[in-house]
Amino acid sequence: MYQDIQEILISEEEIEAKAAELGKAIAIDYKDLNPLCVCVLKGAVPFMADLIRKCEIPLEVDFMAVSSYGNSTKSSGVVRIIKDLEASVENRHVLIIEDIIDSGLTLSYLIDLLKGRKAASVKVVTMLNKPARRTVDLKPDYCGFDIPDAFVVGYGLDYAEKYRNLPYIGVLKEEVYCS
């Protein structure tokens, strides 16, 4: 697995420090709001786990899994809910946790959905942001790193469901996905 990585883009130490920084900022902003933190499966799992342990305020967590119907439909922003939230978001301050924002379509769909369910507020925290790939106007409220348009894996991010368990964010060797 490690031999498939061309270079480490963001180290384990840098990730840890950034998760702590974001967790503390969120703790200040959401003090007394008891936010509902929504982890978008599967990629956001490691970040969620790191972030909430650095966010020392009362909060709740829930999970959502979504899937696009395929590339053609994804570009139209159609997203299918695989697993919905257990909690009601009505009058709740919702913080969506993502590993990466790419086109922005997954998140713009989720934000509209949760606002439609009458959340008191909906904000987004992401560890990674690829602004070059954006097709909808969407900016994260909290962001770890802006990254170039490279094929990155690790820390939750997969290629064909692999590499999610890497503790760092690395660039995948081209031969791995071009063969």
Nearest 10 degrees: CA dihedral of 69, 74, 76, 79?
Answer: 60
Distance (Å, whole) CA 173 – CA 75: 26
Contact letters (x/-) for Mg ion, 139-158, by CB under 5 A? -------------------x
Question: What whole-number distance in Å separates Cα of residue 78 and Cα of residue 145?
Answer: 27
104 binds ligand PRP (CB under 6 A): yes
105 versus 113: smaller Cβ distance to ligand PRP: 105
Interface residue with Mn ion, options 23, 35, 43, 104 (CB under 5 A): 43
DSSP string, 131-148: GGG--S----SEEEEE--
Minimal distance in Å, beta carbon 91 to ligand PRP?
Answer: 26
Measured over the CA atoms of residue 146, residue 152, residue 154 and residue 159, the dihedral's sign is positive
Span near ligand PRP by CB under 6 A; candidates 4-12, 18-26, 35-43, 52-60:
35-43
Which of 26, 95, 98, 119 is close enough to bind ligand PRP by CB under 6 A?
98
Contacting residues toward ligand PRP, per CB under 6 A: 40-43, 98-106, 158
